[in-house]
Chain A
Amino acid sequence: MSQDQRFRGKSRHAVTGKAAIAAAAMAFTASGLGAGAVAQEKVTIASWGGSYQNAQSEALFKPAAKATGISVTEETYGGMSDVRLKVKAGAMSWDIVASGSGSAARAGEEGLLEPLDYDVIDVSNFYPTLKMKYCVGGDVFSTVFAWNTETYGDKGPQSWADFWDVEKFPGKRAYRGKVAGALEPALMADGVPPEKVYEVLATEEGMERALNKIRELKPHIAVWWSSGAQHAQLMKDGEVDMTTGWNGRFDVAINDGAQTAYSFNQALLDYDCFAIPKGAPNKDTAMKFLAEISKAEYQANLPKYITYGPTNKMAYEIGKINKAVAEKLPSHPDNAKLQLPVDIEWYGKFEQKASALYQDLVTE
């Protein structure tokens, strides 16, 4: 705790110091040399690589760099543990990192991230749940239930209660091997209304209730999946009849010919986001850049490259995304209203505890 405070205090000084230098520099250039000599602004962005970063790059980074004249360097990284190392070593080289919302919340709690300035970043058209103090949503995805259309025909499961109903829907299940996104469905299957889920989960008994519900289903869980590629493959190969998973992955499998369908009903609406790590060398430029890529016109590019939805609602209205595609996206208003937005605060507070209990359950 004390370390944390010291830590924050120190970096605040650093920030004000930097701001002063920046201001001085600006005054100098304005008075003496004119705008032409201002060094080119630059940001370094770290993301997860692969097709995901490629999509971000094509849809967001490159067009925004072109429009603002900010030069962008992209790197890949392994997640918030890398940020932690760099912050602790006082050698931060990234200005922006892409992260899962839950990890960003915990890293923010821990003092690894700069609070974002929402006077600079305009989020007035964002879904209110898709931003927080330390990170701004970059794309939206859903944790849904998917089923094999060969096994169940047209009468697939319609709710988490159906997912749990092995009498009505006999067949093998797959479920996530990690706690994120695993407890909420169990409570909904147990009859907790979506809006009460996180309230119930905030108590020890609530967590136990969810875990016990999963214990009930455990004999039918053939696989505990650990990656998006895996749950897509499980459905494609018909290895299980029903699974939880991320909508984008199922879309890819369906396009590949998998006998699979999924529903947004009672799904968990989650997002990936961008954050600025503590001690970022170009913090102010990073803030400006985040403001740029949060605009609807860039957000609307996303679905061209990956089936994740934009976080800015306006993206659906500027006519860049065609209707058929829009209706499949998790953040489309018609789909969003069916879903439970993931409560990042809950994860910040309880994920480590819940994870320990969940690992006990899985290894039982």
Chain B
Amino acid sequence: MSDVALPSSGPASAPPSGQTNQRELKRDARRERFVLFSLCSPALLLVLIIMVLPVGWLFWLSFLGEDGNFTLENYQRMVESKSYARIFRNTFEVSLLTTAICILIGYPLAYFLSQLPRRTANLCMITVLLPFWTSLLVRTYAWLVLLQRRGVINEWGMDIGLWDEPIKLVHNLTGTLIGMVHIMLPFLILPVYGSMRAIDRDYLKAAANLGASPTQAFWRVFFPLSLPGLFAGSLIVFVLCLGFFVTPAVLGGGKVIMVSMRIATNIELFFNWGAASALGVVLLVLTLVILGVASRVLKFDQLLGGGHGS
């Protein structure tokens, strides 16, 4: 792409023959690419050291048995014991539900914020960001205090007479979802808000000018333009949810068991990184498969703005 673009803006001062010029330009481009690459290399090296190598090591470990020889027993165990399939289903279920609820709550909120004057919107944004500044553990335990049997919400509800028996709000899926949505919401709102702010208002005016009702203008112009942000946000939320540990452990009451929790249990039980890393590998592979399929279906790269030029 840049090769084609460069000649037109190339140095006009030196007038060598066309061929030499082409060659020089190519060399220039190569050199530039090399410089850019070397600029990237610290980052690449870092990714290699802190991401690729450990994950590779993890992958390798998962094929080692207790005696250090090659074995599939860590994977076999997952097939034999019914609980593993349930835990994986549970993990994806919780992550999907959390993402869905975050979208339902976060999208309208981001829309509302994007319609406000910038100064007011920034003030409101603080309320969205406030949870970010509080420790995840503190927030999770705060929910426990609010939601439990003799917690604030149940006591008030019964005092006012809304319900007679304490309702089960925590130590189950409900509590886990409440806690996780609360923690994940900013991760959705921020990218959605960003992409909404970037939408040119003139498009909507043009749509109205051409006779679209506000609803039509929203669904046919605004909404599609906000999708990249929405997908980016949902993706972040979903992937982060898959690895959640503290919140489901505290608010799930041992009934919502996610893969990360089972990894911890397995390390304790088998003294064996392999038994745990096999779980990590399966989760990683499943996640990649799901993302792969989703990106095919939803054309992620276009939505995320990567493929505009091509």
Contacts and interface: CB of A to CB of B under 8 A. Distances in A.
Contacts of B253: 222-224
A94 to B, nearest CB: 15
A277 to B, nearest CB: 12
B187 to A, nearest CB: 26
Nearest to A240: B149
A333 to B, nearest CB: 32
Interface residues of A, number: 37
A237 B68 contact: no
A228 B56 CA distance: 35
Given A4-B67, A177-B254, A362-B254, A80 B271 contact: yes
B77 interface: yes
A81 B81 contact: no
Contact of B268 (A79, A223, A238, A356): A79
B88 to A, nearest CB: 11
B271 A360 contact: no
Nearest to A230: B250
A362 B82 CA distance: 11
Given A239-B148, A239-B149, A356 B254 contact: no
Nearest to A227: B249
A239 B268 contact: no
Contact of B81 (A83, A172, A360): A360
Nearest to A84: B271
B91 to A, nearest CB: 12
A4 B67 CA distance: 7
B265 interface: yes
Contact of B254 (A107, A224, A364): A224
Interface of A: 1-4, 79-81, 83-85, 88, 103, 106-107, 110, 112, 172, 177-178, 222-226, 230, 237-239, 351-352, 355-356, 359-360, 362-364
Interface of B: 66-69, 77, 80-83, 86-87, 90, 145, 148-151, 168, 171, 249-250, 253-255, 257, 262, 265, 267-273
The 7 A-B residue pairs with the shortest CB-CB distance in the complex, in nearest-first order: A224-B254, A359-B83, A177-B254, A3-B67, A223-B253, A363-B86, A363-B83
21 contacts: A79-B268, A81-B268, A81-B272, A83-B271, A88-B68, A110-B271, A222-B171, A222-B253, A223-B254, A224-B254, A225-B254, A230-B250, A237-B145, A237-B151, A352-B269, A356-B81, A356-B83, A362-B83, A362-B255, A363-B82, A363-B83
